[in-house]
Structure 1
Amino acid sequence: MIVPVRCFTCGKVIGDKYYIFKERVEQGEDPEKVLDDLGIERYCCRRTLLSHVELIDDIMKYKVY
């Protein structure tokens, strides 16, 4: 839903790299190379960034006040 601030497994801070990763991948770069350039080496952190799906905009439609 919301971009994870830390890796769920090891606790490394990765939230500041998500939007850079997303932008570069959308421009056509290889996700593996982008993760390497950003310094994301652990497979658990890579998994967290690769598998994240942003649903916050969809859920906000159903916000109840």
Structure 2
Amino acid sequence: MMVPVRCFTCGTVVAEHWEEFEERAREGDEDPAEVLDDLGVDRFCCRRMLVSHTDLVDVVSPYQ
């Protein structure tokens, strides 16, 4: 599924950071915590939204 647009807890927009976070963190060159610090995602609830997101669109799409 797509990354949520807003944080479930505080309502801050987090989807705008998803693409850059995924590119930089998934390559393995940078620590995800450092990437989130660079992006300005400071709250733990917002960090949780990005770190714990799993993209399931490829898993669910055959059943539509």
d(CA) in 1 for partners of 2:16 and 2:62? Answer: 26
Deviations 1:22-52 (A, max 9, x none): 1101222100000000000000000110000
In structure 2, the residue corresponding to 1:17 is in which secondary structure? helix
Deviation at 1:57, TM superposition (A): 1.6
Matched with 1:7 is 7
Aligned length: 63
Deviation at 1:58, TM superposition (A): 1.1
Matched with 2:45 is 44
**Unaligned stretches of 5+ in structure 1?**
none
CA RMSD after TM alignment: 0.7
Which structure has the larger Rg?
1
Moved over 3 A (4+): none
d(CA) in 1 for partners of 2:56 and 2:26? Answer: 17
The sequence identity of aligned pairs, in percent, is 56
User: Is 2:35 the partner of 1:25?
Assistant: no
Q: Which amino acid aligns with 2:44?
A: Y
Matched with 1:61 is 62
> TM-score normalized by structure 1?
0.91
